[in-house]
Chain A
Amino acid sequence: MWQELYQELAPYDFLPIAVAMDSREGDALPWIEAAKPTYPTLIDREHRMADLFGIVNVPQAVWIDETGRIVRPAEAAGAYEGFRRMNRTTREMPEDVARLTAHARTTYLDAVRDWARRGAASPHAFSADAARAHLPALTEDMAAAQAMFRLGQLLLQQGEREEGQRWLGEASRRHPESWCIWRQSAGVNDMGFAALPDFWERVDALGEGRYYKPVDMPGMP
């Protein structure tokens, strides 16, 4: 998915690291094999990314500079809510929404390109103060949910299906805003795409609430 961008920006020491927030064995593999990326693609079964960076959904990105400093904390990576207005049978999007969706993606990718080329001189690279101000607020409920998620995954691996699922469900209840947790807990009960009706129900329940928190970037819808 980021292969083209990588090829374009590799001369500027830019490197995507794509992390699959998948816990079921083999879920991510067919996608990776088809894409044949030359950048690292990692499997995060325990959701370390959520634990360490406060990631709650996909795609979310963190920008990290050459010295290991966080330049932009976890945020939606050019994704937009537009899919909520999609026709769920035909999968068509109204034209204005399709335009906004494409615009969000282009705006974000252009910002990434600017950072790759200009580093700290890019306006999209936050200063230390700005980066701190944009850090996700981590609550003790979120930390507890993460611990329960890890426990649930361990139990599932050990064949303790009933208790494992119970802990994943509890994790989701403790951190309802995490789509990463929900996706794995829902997926355990209904394999793959059978969980989609539950997904749409959950999205609809957001009402006016955002699926992706707004990204602080000029031009972002």
Chain B
Amino acid sequence: MTTLLTDTGRFEVPAAEAAGEDLWLPAGDAETITGWSVKPEGLCKAEVCVPLPPGRAQHFVQGSRVNVAALWRHLGQLVVHSDRGRAWVLASSARERSAALRSLQAPDFTLPDPSGRLHSLSDYRGKKVFLVTWASW
């Protein structure tokens, strides 16, 4: 079982295949998890399409599988994985995070309270929110 962490959450992907720095997912899983899908134009998400580098398309797409790790690096984003390749993190680059912050719109997030109930920042739109961190030590 391969576990994948992205900005949107945690995904258990039985059909994932890891090989070194590459992570191959069935195209359907890749789309569900990352939002990117294979189109004639290349790899696309919403209105954005990234053409596959000429001569290297097979590094990204093979049959009905997508190498999401290669895609992430191609997009300038971050990938880290465990030694045995069963845990992966597809993370955002500092550039992307900084661009989001420069918009000054607070990024939404969802976290649990002690009872396990989930709260999103967007739940509290309309309030002056004082978002403050602490730690038990």
Contacts and interface: CB of A to CB of B under 8 A. Distances in A.
A55 B83 CA distance: 28
Interface in A112-133: 112, 115-116, 119, 128, 131-132
Nearest to A44: B111
A110 interface: no
A154 B5 contact: yes
A185 to B, nearest CB: 13
Interface residues of A, number: 84
Interface string B97-134: 11011101111010111100001011011111111111
A8 interface: no
A13 B91 contact: no
Contacts of B75: none
Contact of A66 (B3, B81, B101, B127): B127
Nearest to A67: B125
Contacts of B122: 68
A42 B128 contact: no
A188 to B, nearest CB: 13
A48 B110 CA distance: 9
A29 B83 CA distance: 33
A125 to B, nearest CB: 9
Contact of A163 (B82, B127, B136): B82
Nearest to A77: B132
A19 B134 contact: yes
B48 interface: no
Contacts of B79: 147
Contacts of B89: 147-148, 150-151, 154
Contact of B87 (A2, A154, A187): A154
Given A138-B94, A154-B5, A17 B114 contact: no
Given A44-B111, A135-B102, A154-B3, A15 B130 contact: yes
A147 B98 contact: no
Interface stretch (A20-28, A86-94, A98-106): A20-28
Interface string B1-25: 0010100001000000000000000
Interface string A166-205: 0100000000000010010001000011011000000000
Nearest to A119: B128
Contacts of B37: none
A183 B135 CA distance: 9
B131 A19 contact: yes
Given A62-B106, A151-B5, A42 B112 contact: yes
Interface of A: 1-2, 5, 12-22, 27-33, 40-44, 46, 48-49, 51-55, 57-70, 73, 77, 112, 115-116, 119, 128, 131-132, 135-140, 142-144, 146-148, 150-151, 154-155, 158, 160, 163, 167, 180, 183, 187, 192-193, 195-196
